[in-house]
Amino acid sequence: MKNYFLPLFYIFFLSSFIFSCSKDEPAPVEPVTEVLTYDVEDLDGNIFVNNQIVEFSAVDYPDASLGFYVRNTSSESIAMRIEVESMSGTDGSQLELCFGECYLGVTTGTSYPTSPSMPNVIIESGQTQASSGDHFFNMDEGDGNTAVEYTFKFYLADETGNQNGTVFRLKYRYLSN
């Protein structure tokens, strides 16, 4: 009587190996999450570049006012805030910042809007913020020798106003002639 056990074992082993390889499932596909993006523009639609310095030699309105729009370039709504990241040559008491709401006087490290009930400016896909007239307006002449400078950090935020995405900085500088 022939030994059929060994050839059957090899056939079974090879079949199991072949079938197990052919049934490999692809690795799980991670969902693609869109990166939310935006541009900061002047009132004519010209796009500012990150860390751009905008210089002024006046403290009178409208010559010292820097109007801006934030344009949502994503396919989803975004929530935005602006933080006064730094300032020099001033205490911030004579700066008007309007973004959703207007504030006269700013402090370093504070993000705007400041209302807990509306911590963000919501911008729909392909649009700019609904409020018109958003701007920075410095009225502080400083000491006449040192530039008055503000660095504003625009950022994406979560529903409670915490930074949650891309950061963009714009610098406002006043120096008398």
Q: Judge whether 75 lies within some domain.
A: yes
- CATH number for the domain that contains residue 101: 2.60.40.10
Q: Judge whether 20 lies within some domain.
A: no
pLDDT, position 101: 94
The residue that leads in pLDDT, 144 or 107, is 107
Which of 56, 116, 106, 115 lies closest to 85 in space, CA to CA? 106
Per the structure, the count of domains in the chain is: 1
Q: Judge whether 127 lies within some domain.
A: yes
User: Hey, what are 134's tokens?
Assistant: 């958003």
Q: Judge whether 2 lies within some domain.
A: no
Is residue 148 a contact partner of residue 80, using CB atoms and an 8 Å limit? no
Report whether pLDDT(143) > 70: yes
Model confidence pLDDT, tens digit, residues 51-86: 999 999 999 999 999 999 999 999 999 999 999 999
Q: Judge whether 76 lies within some domain.
A: yes
pLDDT, position 177: 77
- At 131, is the pLDDT very low, low, confident or very high (cuts 50, 70, 90)? confident
Q: Judge whether 4 lies within some domain.
A: no
Residues 6+ apart with CB under 8 A from 70: 38, 39, 40, 41, 80, 121, 123, 128, 129, 154
Which of 43-47, 114-118, 130-134 has the highest average model confidence (pLDDT)? Answer: 43-47
Domain carrying residue 123: 38-174
- At 133, is the pLDDT very low, low, confident or very high (cuts 50, 70, 90)? very high
Alpha-helical runs (H) found in the chain? 5-22
Residues 6+ apart with CB under 8 A from 93: 105, 140
Q: Judge whether 28 lies within some domain.
A: no
Q: Judge whether 5 lies within some domain.
A: no
Model confidence pLDDT, tens digit, residues 25-37: 566 666 656 789 9
Is pTM, for the whole model, over 0.75? yes
